[in-house]
Structure 1
Amino acid sequence: MRKLLITIALGAVLAGCSSSQTPTAQSQSDASFESKLQQQLLDAKPGSVIEIPAGHYSLKRGLSLRTDGVTIRGAGMDKTVLSFKGQVVGPEGLLVNANDFTIENLAIEDTKGDALKINQGKNITIHGVRIEWTAGPQTTNGAYGLYPVKTQNVLVEDSVVIGASDAGIYVGQSQNIIVRRNRAEQNVAGIEIENSINADVYENTATKNTGGILVFNMPNLSQAGHASRVFKNKVFANNTGNFAAKGAAVASVPAGSGVVVNSNDKVEIFDNDIADNQTANLIVASYFSTNYYNTRGVAPDYNPYPKGIYIYGNRLTGGGDSPDGLKLKTLKTAVYGLSGRFPDVLWDGYSDPKDLVNGLPPPDDRICIQDVNGVLNADGAHDYKNPSTGTKPYQCTLPKLPPVVLNPEPKV
């Protein structure tokens, strides 16, 4: 199909970029640009390419797109900037309900709510997009930066997200996902894969978040997640205090968390550089360790336990020296002394009691851990009363997961 090229009028671009205009003229040009851009989104047809030249544009209303097969393209993530600092209408910066959607080479800043939400689309490509809340970490920042939910065949690459009060890069209730070569910084959760199936997360950098990379399964959602690979990432110094809104799922993530698996199955974590995360470089936990436990009804088929977790071949240094929260601080002191530190892996200790045979889960459901300096079973099921440091229960292997293949392969 021949692509249609739609370029925002040059006059509006120049007006929007001019620093010599009076405030009134600037406001008029911003309103004109905003109106033209929204109209282009409304008029777009399958195959349309909406190009936004370099410039800093102030928008007051959220944008939306509902047409399949559209590309939105800027001149670069530091050149084409859509600023929602004065947003007064709409919870998102850009809301997309469409298939075959590509967005690339632009920035979205300071949205009132989520920055870029893509809902129920197939064949989604996010390339070279910067999302930022420019005043730094604050609870009043939007919750999600890049936010595909209930999507299929998703590629998020070469992008940057800074300052989200929930998750910087979040892919939820989706299938067939690649998240690669991104940078997530100063978010509560840097990168989060939630209730999703078949995800590859690799060659990303997550630093200065509360938690670096999260693989979660929450109750009462449209599907349970499994089969995620987290590899070749740099996850270091994720020690920012948790600034999530009260009641959010990530509000219970302790500051200083590197890679966290919660209630998810078949997760493979390997070949990562993980360092200096002050609670623990790697955390494996259940739903019972979240702030949702005992506060919300849970569907009877929900599996709250992490099963089939395989950790091996990572390079781990530092971390565990200053865990977040009174319970974890007390636990560290009790087991390792005031000057000690948690080992590389902290497990909350919850296992499905109906599946245990001689104290161990079935082979495919075990937590298998190699190449670490130790594992602490926190014994959360008994209020941390009998933590253990033995590594024998984790000396096992699991089948390796296949790579995720996107079909069709995105062209960027």
Structure 2
Amino acid sequence: MFKKDKYYGEIWLPNKEGQKQFCTIEVVENDFFLNTILLTDLLQIKLDIIYGVFNDLGCLTFVNCNIIRSETGVVKYKKICPDYVFACANHFIEPKGIRLKSIEIENNTINDFISNFHTMNPLKDKVEVQNVQINKININEDLTLSLFKNYGIETNRFGTNILNHGILKFEFNYEKSLLQSIEIYRHFQKFCIMFFFGIEKFNYFKSNCLNCGEEYYIVFNDDLAFTHNQGIFHKFSFKNFDSFPSVISNWYNNEDLKYCFDIIIENYLSKKVSRARRFTNSISSFEAFYKLFSVESKHKKLNKRIFEYKDIFCLMDPNIVEIEEFSRKMIRIRDFYVHGNRDQKTEHSSFELLYYSLLLDFVVIRELSTVLGFADNDIKKIENAGISVFKNQLPLNRLINENLIID
């Protein structure tokens, strides 16, 4: 939506339209910064709402505006960073109590999920670029998810390019607040983080005014938008994913699944998480999974719980020779970090903690994927991804991480 780095206009506070001030907007990676001389109280550090009209953008409403810099001199300069921005061509969007019936998100990552793009029609000698709906899935009685492919045209002095766009749309039977709507999108982002290589920042996030039907755009801090190198499915197409409707429905509808996956996802979201913290997250996710989904779910001791899934542990990590000894070691490490039992005799390096954490994660992901409804061939891909880590990457990384100073 925002093609330029800077926009010009004027802003004012609610009920003070007669006190408009010149303002520039700087857009830095979806963050908005307002540079203005808007008059406010000297000690004020936050403004609830600011209205503005800007060239090329229309009517903007800024919400939760933090004054991050203030200078007093010949003029009183302020730099303001809003948490939310509402942009509409013809009228202002009132944020208080706003309700939504649908949200539409364009994201380049969705392109990777859509295998059929616009093609040249040799009989008509033209490119067919109409919108095509790839999937429409009824998640539950309140929520419908749709995937589209769309196109854009980019022209410069060298020629004209047709750009493919992937669009995700959620429709609600019952009106939702903005935060509820964003959370629905965030849950889809977590799906991409868990099984693929993350998700990029959205190109736009928009809805429609319930009074007049006009579309408006919403900008906010998309803190779940990032990519990583721990994805399971390398190339993937929703169109060829027969089990996707049941998988994504279970992803949204099963609260126990949400709880377990959220613990694992913490390991992806925290860029500087320590190996010890990562391990405790992983052991917590395994114990939560066991309590909620184990067929037997009667063992109270961790070693018995690990032994119940010994086939999966040994499948993922061929280096496990004695599952009993492995489970006892997991107990000692858990007690050392979680229960503060520093008398435990446990020898492990930070490098080993990382791989123990990965092993627990892969076991839980593999088992929860069966609950989600993944097909057998997709479960096999998850198993192969885990086996690859411990059969191929572990020996190499162990060699790379050797330290002659202490080893």
Name the TM-score, length of structure 2 as normaliser.
Answer: 0.28
Structure in which a larger fraction of residues adopt helix: 2
* Higher Cα Rg, which structure: 2
Q: Which has the higher contact order (CA 8 A, sep 6+)?
A: 2
Structure in which a larger fraction of residues adopt strand: 1
